[in-house]
């Protein structure tokens, strides 16, 4: 349904409500799920309030996606400066000023956080500062620093986010045993660091710290790094990390940790004992649903406190919705935002609004970048059966040579017979941008033939997707596909 039709539907529903509450909708949490939901509901004609206990923008803007990418970009520049001679450039030795980098990180976060507040104001969303909890099914108590206020709303969206998972043997102390939020805020670097967990967060930080001159050891319980992503992508990142000097230990767990003066002593499942000044633990995140009084109103939760929702993002109480990390699903900012849009549309009267997780791109800002959407090769073979898989090497691409970024590949998984694109997995420079085309192709249920027939600009990195599609057809021109 088009936006203007949704708005008309929402305005009718608001009139039907009869003004029984101060607000048509109240939102708990101002992260990428909550603030997007609030703004969209306001655009559709609802009177909206948003309660936020800390900073607008949530984990993503303040301690996650945005500040880590400031560090990632600086790390890449550090790595690239060692190759400037290849391009005929000569400069003096590049050094890292942690204070200036930290100031840039904070300035970027400040600007984006302020931008969220401006958007809320311009859409007439009432912002209430404080911690929200349910008094009853339609009333929130928001406790601020000085006073508490009550918000009555016909419908409520919970977007309370997630928190890092702790290891029983390595509790966070904020100084020596830290989680990602503390890592991104560090303005002084340790000589060495042990990173436990080699998902996308652990691998990103391993690359950052290594580029900045820190001795890094990366430990992963599972048999490979980036275990939730394509296996070939993981291998490409592993090769790069080892080239940077990162010590990677898979199929390994942290068994014991002691804290003698001035050091951490870790005992691994391999029997190896290691000593480090700092340890970063990034083994996952858990939904934040406690303390809101959900049990008081009967909202059902599941594993690890995740709020159970349906395809409309409704909880066990139809007028209460939940979006983002608190639902325990795919903990990605862009997923939270889309779920917020769906919840807002449904809450304001668009009963056809449904959330689909069929096509969700995900990125790891490693070196090289990894981006993925759809089925992995392994899953496709299990669920679909006969598939065609082609992996186009970036070293064949003209633009990759121009930029000096010849590592990596574009991997396309297609259904045999029809050529329907089932998954795309990229490990290469600009992967995070290239994956958008692949996601659109999958959303439109495009085939490899349709991708191959789409003219791509030359010379560009996205030509890699075009070349992989031609490979699926057995008609590769520029490589032995």
Question: pLDDT for 340-374, tens place per residue?
Answer: 999 999 999 999 999 999 999 999 999 999 999 99
- Using DSSP's 3-state secondary structure scheme, residue 124 falls into coil
CATH, range 177-282: 3.50.50.60
Stretch(es) of the chain classified as CATH 3.50.50.60? 3-61+103-163+286-347, 177-282
Q: Cα 303 to chain center, whole Å?
A: 21
Strands (E), 239-382: 247-249, 254-258, 264-268, 273-276, 278-281, 285-287, 320-322, 362-364, 370-374
* Residues designated catalytic: 458
Rounded (5°) CA angle 457-402-75: 105
Tens place of pLDDT for every residue, the chain, 481 residues? Answer: 444 445 545 555 555 544 678 999 999 999 999 999 999 999 999 999 999 999 999 999 999 999 999 999 999 999 998 888 899 998 888 899 999 999 999 999 999 999 999 999 999 999 999 999 999 999 999 999 888 999 999 999 999 999 999 999 999 999 999 999 999 999 999 999 999 999 999 999 999 999 999 999 999 999 999 999 999 999 999 999 999 999 999 999 999 999 988 889 999 999 999 999 999 999 999 999 999 999 999 999 999 999 999 999 999 999 999 999 999 999 999 999 999 999 999 999 999 999 999 999 999 999 999 999 999 999 999 999 999 999 999 999 999 999 999 999 999 999 999 999 999 999 999 999 999 999 999 999 999 999 999 999 999 999 999 999 999 999 999 998 8
| DSSP string computed for 184-212 | HH-SS--SEEEEE--SHHHHHHHHHHHHT
Q: Which two tokens stand for residue 419?
A: 């050529």
CATH 3.40.50.2020 fits 368-473, yes or no: no
Q: What is the assigned CATH class of domain 3-61+103-163+286-347?
A: alpha beta
Pinpoint the alpha helices (H) of 388-462: 398-403, 431-443, 448-453
pLDDT of residue 348: 96
Q: Which two tokens stand for residue 422?
A: 């089932």
pLDDT of residue 2: 45
- Using DSSP's 3-state secondary structure scheme, residue 112 falls into helix
Q: What is the pTM of this model?
A: 0.93
Distance CA 11, CA 38 (A): 15
Stretch(es) of the chain classified as CATH 3.30.390.30? 368-473
């Amino acid at each position: 349904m088009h936006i203007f039709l949704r708005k008309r539907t929402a305005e009718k529903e608001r009139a039907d409500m009869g003004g029984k509450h101060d607000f048509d909708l109240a939102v708990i949490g101002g992260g990428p799920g909550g603030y997007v939901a609030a703004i969209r509901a306001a655009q559709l004609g609802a009177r909206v309030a948003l309660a936020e206990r800390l900073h607008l923008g949530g984990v993503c803007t303040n301690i996650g996606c945005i500040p880590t990418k400031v560090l990632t970009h600086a790390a890449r520049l550090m790595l690239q400066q060692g190759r400037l001679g290849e391009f005929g450039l000569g400069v003096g030795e590049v050094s890292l000023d942690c204070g200036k980098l930290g100031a840039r990180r904070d300035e970027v976060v400040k600007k984006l956080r302020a931008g969220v507040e401006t958007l809320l104001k311009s859409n007439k969303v009432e912002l209430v500062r404080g911690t929200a909890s349910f008094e009853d099914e339609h009333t929130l108590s928001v406790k601020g620093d000085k006073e508490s206020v009550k918000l009555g709303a016909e419908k409520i969206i919970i977007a309370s986010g997630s928190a890092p998972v702790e290891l029983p043997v390595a509790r966070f102390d904020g100084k020596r045993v830290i989680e990602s939020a503390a890592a991104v805020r560090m303005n002084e670097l340790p000589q060495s660091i042990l990173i436990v967990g080699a998902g996308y967060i652990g691998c990103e930080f391993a690359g950052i710290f290594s580029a900045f001159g820190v001795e890094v050891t990366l430990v992963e319980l599972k048999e490979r790094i980036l275990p939730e992503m394509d296996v070939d992508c993981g291998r490409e990142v592993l090769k790069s990390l080892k080239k940077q000097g990162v010590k990677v230990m898979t199929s390994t767990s942290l068994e014991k940790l002691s804290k003698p003066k001035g050091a951490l002593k870790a005992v691994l499942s391999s029997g190896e004992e290691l000593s480090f000044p700092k340890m970063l633990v990034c083994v996952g995140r858990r939904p934040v649903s406690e303390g809101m009084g959900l049990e008081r109103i009967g909202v059902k939760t599941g594993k690890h406190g995740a709020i159970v929702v349906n395809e409309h993002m409704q909880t066990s109480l139809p007028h209460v919705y939940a979006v983002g990390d608190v639902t325990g699903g795919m903990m990605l900012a862009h997923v939270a935002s889309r779920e917020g849009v769906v919840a807002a549309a449904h809450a304001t009267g668009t009963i056809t609004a449904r959330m689909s997780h069929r096509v969700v791109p995900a990125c790891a800002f490693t070196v090289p970048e990894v981006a993925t959407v759809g089925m992995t090769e392994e899953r496709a073979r299990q669920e679909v059966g006969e598939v065609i898989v082609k992996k186009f090497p970036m070293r064949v691409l003209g633009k990759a040579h121009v930029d000096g970024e010849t590592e990596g590949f574009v991997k396309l998984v297609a259904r045999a017979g029809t050529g329907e694109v089932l998954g795309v997995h990229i490990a290469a420079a600009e992967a995070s941008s290239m994956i958008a085309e692949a996601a659109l192709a999958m959303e439109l249920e495009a085939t490899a033939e349709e991708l191959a027939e789409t003219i791509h600009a030359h010379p560009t990195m996205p030509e890699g997707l075009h070349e992989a599609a031609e490979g699926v057809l057995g008609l590769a021109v520029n490589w032995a596909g």
